[in-house]
Amino acid sequence: MNIRIIATGALRSFLHNKVILLFGSLFVCVVLLMMTPLMTYKSMTNAANAQQMQGFVLSTVSGVMSLVSAFGSLLAAWAAADSVAGEMKSGTVLAVMARPLRRWEFLAGKFLGVLMLMAIYVTAMLGITILLSWLGGQHIQTSVWALLIYPLARYAMWAALAILFVTLVHPVLVMGIILIMMALVELFGSTSNHIAAWIRVPVHLVLPLTGLVSEDRFMVISRAPLKSFTWTSHLIALSYAADYALVCFLLAVFMFHRRELTRD
Amino acid sequence: MTPAIEFSGITKFYRRRRFRSEKTAALSGVSFEVAQGEVCAFLGPNGAGKTTSMNILMGFIFPFSGRARVFGFQPGDVRAKKRIGFLPENFAFYRYLTAEKLLRFHLRLSGRQTPDPAGLITSLLTKVKLDSYKGLKIGKYSRGMMQRLGIAQALLGDPDLLVLDEPTSGLDPAGRKEVRDLILGLKAEGKTVFLSSHMLSEVEQVCDRVIIIDHGCVAGAGTMQQMLVENNQTEIVVDQLSAELETLLVEKGAQSLRETNRVRIICDSGLKRELTEALWANGCDVISLAPVRTSLEDTFLKLVGRTGGE
């Protein structure tokens, strides 16, 4: 019950957060601007260049999805860090924690609030992606549930990491660490086979390997058959994300339990 | 009966700088108790350790050593927090909410079951005179209005113990009087109130007991009566006093102060009967006889070793 109250309070504060609203609006504008080349491709498509135009459309949609994913990860991390640090900075945490509320419930509420925000984001972005694909004359041939759950699992990992770091350091520093980790994930995701095992293994344990919970592994935006991806594979990928987020969250609870609550 | 608040040998250090081992003692072996139903003032100059103690009491920060209990539970325990209403210093809350929505949020968190939450919130807002501003966003509130709202949220869960850090800070004289009356009302209901304040004259009017803290140590504690009676002295006021009688009184260790229409004689309380009889016998009209009371401010300044100001 308490977790739900804190979560809805956190979501309400996100929806009143001018920074989130400004960046969200700008982002939607950028994504929608990408409609223009798609419309152009569609109008220029004929029997002779259909294959080439389809390639343009697919690369545009793929670019949008990468952008949506990167922005979503940053948004999840920032919202999570700010929701805890903002309460500490303003001192509102004192009045809230004076209520019969356990510290882990406070953190869980904040985490759930971030997930609620990200669920709205994922749904909105999925709608935009489907719209862009449709405008480009393509169809996304993947179950909608997977396109909702997978990004949410990725964002949960980043949010849990951010909550863990913000119990230790300043939120600006948290965002710096998160950005470095995102760069490392990209680096180790693409070149991991060329890196020595003694570096690769510990890094894989620490970094959130978001590539494992990426829709790219099974998603196809064309009339071609779907890549084979079994339920077990889905389960393993999502379990990894849930496990990673849970470990980070539990570590955050451990740190927060010992943290002194004062106005920063 | 379990004390509402129990502090035993509480010590707390703060690091002077992060990642350095140098420490400053915020509290050094602080011990006191507040019984249930008492209105107790927690006084001290700035930086004495009042807010640190209150934060330990609420479970926000942890003591280095010592034992703290609230209704027999560890600070921060949900069972203790269910019985506490807390007003932090410089109360702050989500600026985009209205007072009504804020109180609704806190009411849900407090777990208090009430058949008419809206009615309860309205009555509380009326009590703190914010009913006409209940639709206004908190971000537009003045400092005094914020303080009133903070008091309303502290009262929301019908707590047995109210912990108020500077409750009258930012309030106008009328607001301060309302807070005083509110505390007296809570006292009549048998609630425990633990408050810190720099308004010593107000504390004098509402509190049963006083704890004075300075440099992280308890400098003095006692009932208000004990705090206001100094050195067991009595003041006898007479209409006139002859020079011979004055000499006699001075020989007995009394002190006389001549004023326009009266003479004040200050003596040890043990001598009051003897001196009063002597004054009557010599034809003096005794106007009043009362223990010498100092103001709480005098006692406070004496205990914290200051001659004035902070």
Which of A100, A102, A260 has the CB atom closest to B60's CB atom?
A: A260
B299 pLDDT band (50/70/90 cuts)? confident
A88 pLDDT band (50/70/90 cuts)? confident
B161 pLDDT band (50/70/90 cuts)? very high
The distance of Cα A177 from the centroid of its chain, to the nearest Å, equals 16
If you average pLDDT over each of A155-164, A182-191, A207-216, B245-254, which comes out highest?
Answer: A155-164
Please write the tens of the pLDDT for every residue from A37-49. 777 777 777 777 7
Which of A5, A16, A102 has the CB atom closest to B78's CB atom?
A: A102
Please write the tens of the pLDDT for every residue from B48-77. 889 899 999 999 999 999 999 999 999 989
A chain contacts of residue B79, beta-carbon cutoff 8 Å? 100
The answer to whether A98 contacts chain B (CB < 8 Å) is yes
Token pair, residue A205, equals 């344990």
Token pair, residue A101, equals 């509320």
**In the prediction, which pLDDT does B48 show?**
86
Residue A104 has pLDDT above 90, yes or no: yes
Residue A15 has pLDDT above 60, yes or no: yes
Output the CA–CA distances (angstroms, integers) from residue A131 to A29, A128, A139, A249, in the order listed. 14, 5, 9, 35
Contact yes or no for B55 and A261 at CB 8 A: yes
Q: What is the mean pLDDT of residues A13-20?
A: 87
CA distance A150 to A143: 11
Token pair, residue B60, equals 């926000």
**In the prediction, which pLDDT does B243 show?**
86
CA distance B296 to B299: 5
Which domains are seen in chain B, by residue range?
A: 5-226 (3.40.50.300), 231-294 (3.30.70.980)
Q: Are A49 and A223 in contact (CB under 8 A)?
A: no
**In the prediction, which pLDDT does A220 show?**
60
**In the prediction, which pLDDT does A55 show?**
75
Contact yes or no for A260 and B153 at CB 8 A: no
Contact yes or no for B96 and A91 at CB 8 A: no
Token pair, residue B182, equals 């509110």
A chain contacts of residue B96, beta-carbon cutoff 8 Å? 12-13, 16
By DSSP bridging, strand B229-238 and strand B286-293 are antiparallel
A262 pLDDT band (50/70/90 cuts)? confident
Indicate whether this complex's ipTM tops 0.85. no
Chain A residue with Cα closest to B151:
A95
Of B88, B89, B62, B86, nearest to B74 (Cα)? B62
Residue of A94, A97, A257, A259 to mutate, testing the B interface (most B Cβ within 10 Å of its Cβ): A94
Please write the tens of the pLDDT for every residue from B171-191. 888 888 888 888 888 888 889
CA distance A40 to A55: 13
Q: Are B300 and B228 in contact (CB under 8 A)?
A: no
Kind and range of the H or E run holding B26: strand B23-34
Distance in Å from the first CA to the final CA of chain A: 28
Residue B310 has pLDDT above 50, yes or no: no
DSSP chain A: -HHHHHHHHHHHHHHT-HHHHHHHHHHHHHHHHTHHHHHHHHHH--TTTHHHHHHHHHHHHHHHHHHHHHHHHHHHHHHHHHHHHHHHHHSHHHHHHTSS--HHHHHHHHHHHHHHHHHHHHHHHHHHHHHHHHHTT----S-HHHHHHHHHHHHHHHHHHHHHHHTTS-HHHHHHHHHHHHHHHHHHHHHGGGS-HHHHHHHHHHS--GGGG-GGGT---SSSPPPP--HHHHHHHHHHHHHHHHHHHHHHHHHHHHS-----
Q: How far is B113 from chain A (nearest CA, A)?
A: 13
By DSSP bridging, strand B65-70 and strand B5-15 are antiparallel
Chain B residue with Cα closest to A106:
B109
Q: Are B45 and B304 in contact (CB under 8 A)?
A: yes
By DSSP bridging, strand B255-258 and strand B161-165 are unpaired
B18 pLDDT band (50/70/90 cuts)? low
Token pair, residue A131, equals 């719209």
Interface of B with A (CB under 8 A): 55, 58-62, 78-79, 81-82, 84-86, 88, 90-94, 96, 105-106, 108-111, 150, 153, 157
CA distance A15 to A24: 10
Contacts of A233 (CB under 8 A, 6+ apart): A218
CA distance A82 to B45: 34
Q: How far is B279 from chain A (nearest CA, A)?
A: 60
Kind and range of the H or E run holding B10: strand B5-15
Chain A residue with Cα closest to B58:
A98
Residue of A82, A87, A99, A262 to mutate, testing the B interface (most B Cβ within 10 Å of its Cβ): A99
Please write the tens of the pLDDT for every residue from A177-233. 999 988 888 777 655 567 777 777 777 777 787 777 776 666 665 544 445 667 888
Burial class (CB in 10 A: 0-12, 13-18, 19+), A184: middle
**In the prediction, which pLDDT does A225 show?**
46
